[in-house]
Amino acid sequence: MKLLHKFIIKSFIPPFIGAFFVTWLIFIMQFMWVWIDEFIGKGLDILTISQFIGLLSTTLVPIALPLGILFAAIMTFGNLGESSELTAIKAAGISVIRFANPLLVFIILVAVGSFFFNNYLIPEAKLKATRLLYDIQNKKPVLAIKPGRFNKDIPNHIIYISRKDDDDQTIHDVRIYNHSAGRGNSNITLAKKGKMYVTNDKKFLVFELEDGWRYEEKAPIGKDEHEQIRLGFKYWKKIFDLSDFKLPSTDENYFKNMREVMSVTQIIKQLDTNRMNINKIRLSTQEAMCPNLLIVRLDTAKQPIKLPPWQSPTKTFWNLIPDSLQSTLLTQAESGIRSVKNMLEINTQNLRLQRMNMTDSQIELHKRFSMPFACILLFLIGAALGSIIRKGGLGMPFVSAVIFFIIYYFMNTIGEKIAKENVVSVVTGIWSPSIILTIIATFLLYKANNDSPLFNKEFYGKIWFLLTKFTRKQKGI
C-alpha cells in the first residue's frame, strides 16, 4: 500500500499545483479588470501597483483553492481511469475511497492550513489592501496640463498654454489666473514662452517664464476708486506645491472594524459586544415601560369608575380632578407619552442595527470554517467524478470542475444572502451548501465504487437505442 500511497500522491501534486496557480491567476486578472479604472490617470508608480496586486492576490487564495482542488482531483482520477490503472486497482480489491485515503489526509491538512491562513494572513492582507485601495481612490489624478485647454487641477489657479514643444518642457503663450484672493480674475500672469517641469522629487511644479506681464487688481479703496498694478518682466519663476497630488496614507485603524479583517477571536468578541448591547437596549425598553411610570390614557380616564353602592355611579376619574389641574395633567401626560414613544423608536432602530451587525459577524465566523470544509467535499466529488468519467487531459475535467464550482458558488451566495436577510438562520444559510455537497459526494462515491456508467455516453446511447426500438415495436414498424 505504501507504493500506492506514493503513486497517488505523486500523481496528484503536479496537477494540484498547476490547477491552483492557473485558477488563482484567472481570479487575479478578473479582479484587476474590476479595479483597473481606479489606476488610470493617477500616476501610480510600479511599486504601489505591485503592492496592491500582491495584497489582492493573497486575499484571493481562499477562492482559488477549492476550484484548484476540484480540478486536480478530477484530472488525477480521470487520467488513472483512462489509462486503466484505476481498473487494475479495483480488480485488486481496493475501493476508490481506500485508494484515495492518502490524498484525503493530505487535503485535510491543506484545509486546516487554509483555515489558519484565512484567519491570520488574509485579514492582515485585506486590511492593507483595503487601506491602499482607499488611498488610490482618493488620490487626485496626475497633473496633466495639455496645450489648448484650461487646467483647474491646482487649487485656486487656472493655467492655459497654447503650445508645447517636442522637448515636453518649452511652452508658448502662457496664462496663469490666480484666484486666491477670491475676486475672480484679479491676478493674471501672461508670458510669451517659458519652461514647465516637475522637480525630481515630484514635489513641485516649476514655471520659468520669459517676456511677460503681471496684472493685479487690488481691493476697491472707495466707491469709484480702484488700484491696478501692471508689472513687466523678462524672467519670472513660479513654483506650485504638488503635495495634494501625492498618494495619501490613511491610518489602518480606520478599517479595523470591518469583519473581513478580523480574526475568529476578534469576531467572537464582537459578537459578545453585540449581545451586551442588545441586552442593554432591552433593559432600557423595560425601564421605559415600567409600571412606576404614570401614563394616562385619556379615553379610559373618562370612563365611569366603579364606586361603592352608596355613591353615584355616574362620576368618572376625570370628574374627580379639579378643573384647574386638568390642563396641567393633559400636558404632562402628553409629554410623557411622547418621550416614551421617541425612546421606543430609537431603541427599535438600535436593536435592528445591533441584530444586523450580529448577523454579519455570525456569517463571517461560519464562513471561516465552511470554506476549508468545502475543500474536503470538493475533493471527494472530484475523485468520484474522475473515477466515473475516466477522461484525462484538460477538456472534460475542466468543464466538470467549473460546473460543480459554479453550483457550489451559487448555493453559497444564495445561502449567505438569505441568512443576511434573516429568512433562515445563519447556520442553515451558510452550511446548507456543505450539506448538499456531502449528499452529492456520497452519491458519486457510491457510483464510483460500483463502476456506474453515470457519465458514460455509450450507456445513454444504449438506453436511447432500446427506447427507440420499443417505440417502433409499439407502432408496429
Residue 109 pLDDT: 93
DSSP string computed for 279-314: HHHHHHHHHHT-TTS----HHHHTSB----TTS-TT
- 282 or 390: which carries more pLDDT confidence? 282
Residue 298 pLDDT: 44
The region of weakest confidence among 238-242, 309-313, 420-424 is 309-313
Q: Give the rounded percent of residues in the chain with a pLDDT score beyond 70.
A: 78
d(CA 462, CA 460): 5
Residue 41 pLDDT: 62
The winner for highest mean pLDDT among 100-109, 146-155, 398-407 is: 100-109
Segment 277-302 mean pLDDT? 63
Sheet holding 204-217, edge to edge: 150-151, 157-164, 170-178, 187-198, 204-217, 228-241
Closest-CA residue to 9 (of 82, 73, 54): 73
Segment 152-171 mean pLDDT? 83
Domain parsing of the chain, residue ranges: 2-139+364-470, 150-245, 266-360
Residue 297 pLDDT: 45
Residue 241: is its pLDDT beyond 80? no
The winner for highest mean pLDDT among 34-48, 281-295, 349-363 is: 349-363
Closest-CA residue to 145 (of 173, 115, 105): 173
Collapsed DSSP state (helix, strand, coil) of residue 162: strand
| pLDDT tens digits, 223-233 | 666 677 888 88
Burial of 270 (0-12, 13-18, 19+ CB in 10 A): buried
